[in-house]
Structure formats: C-alpha cells, structure tokens
Amino acid sequence: MKTLFINEEIKYDGTQLSPHWIYKNYHIQGNAIVAFVGECDVNLQHMVDIEDVINNEPIYSKKMLNFIEENFNSSLEETVYKQRLLVSITKELIEKISPEVKIIRSGDDLYINNKKLSVSIATKSITSSLIHFGLNIISEGAPIEAADLIQDAKIVDIKQFANTILKLYSEETNDIILAACKVRGVF
C-alpha cells in the first residue's frame, strides 16, 4: 500500500472519490492511500451515500483531514472492511495520544461526547474500490453538532497525526496480505 501526505490544501467536494484520481494527480499507480487537509463541501450531486441524499444531508466542514484510498483488487464488501479498519486505527491512535478523550466508534463513524467527528464512505468504481474518510479539524460551521480534532480530540500536529495513520494503515494492510500468503491450504 503506497501512501502520501499532500502538503497543499485541497477542497474536498466528492469529485476526488473517483478512479485514478491519485494516479492522475500524484503519479502514484496501484493501491494507494493519500491524506490532505482542506475545506469539505459535498453537495447532493456528488454524494455517494444514497441515505444522505434521501435525507437531504450534504456534508460541510470548514477544515477537514481527508483520506482517499483506491484499491484495485477488493470487492465492495472487502473495501468496507478496510474502511472500518482505517476508522479503528484512527480511534486507537486518538486514544493513545489523548487517553482522556472518550471516543466511540459506531460502524464507520467516530464520536466524541455524542458529537460526530468523522464522515466516511466506501464505494466501487468500474476499475477499483474507493474510500473517503474525513475528520473535522474545525467543527465550527458544520451542519450538525460536530466534534473536531483540535478542541475535542486534543490533536495538535495534524500532519504528524495523518502520517502516523497512513503508516499504521499501510503496515496493517500489508501484514494482512503476508498473513494470507504464509498458510498452506487444507484438504
């Protein structure tokens, strides 16, 4: 799993959740996950989550840490497992950095004090499977009661936090592949 933290701010509008976005923009071919910071403003036209469309719930955050993953050999169900793994790794890292913070994972969402910290979706394209995972850096202006990394999770260095998640996730997914390759079949 290749990783990259993108230093430039990028406004996430949902169009980044598309096949080969990482390759076309950052020349990383193959299975990869990237992270970047920027405003998040996804209107219903670019919304992948049909439940959010039905409920007329666009996504907005003044500043969000975003992760985009593209994988070329996973079913949609396997991609949802990977999405949940990414969310769980993030939860564990927040708990390690800020043990006083009570963080709850419910499916692919993270909550602090009943306020939503994250958004996430897994989907399939014609050539690959894709994940978007976003964490509010600033919760002010969100359309729902939201938590954020700075005030609620007590995360100070967003870039270091993102790079640690990228490293842990890449190591875990690579280890899963190795674990699957080291066993012999049984009859």
What's the structural domain count of the chain? 1
DSSP 131-159: EEEEEEEE-TT-SS-B--TTTTS----HH
165 domain residue, yes or no: yes
187 domain residue, yes or no: no
138 domain residue, yes or no: yes
Mean pLDDT of 136-161: 94
Buried b (16+ CB within 10 A) or exposed e, 29-43: eebbbbbbbbbbbbe
pLDDT at 55: 66
pTM, two decimal places: 0.93
Its domain, for residue 33, covers: 2-181
Tens digits of per-residue pLDDT, 94-127? Answer: 999 999 999 999 999 999 999 999 999 999 999 9
Q: Which residues lie across from 91 on neighbouring strands?
A: none
47 domain residue, yes or no: yes
111 domain residue, yes or no: yes
pLDDT higher than 90, residue 147: yes
186 domain residue, yes or no: no
CATH no. for residue 148? 3.30.930.10
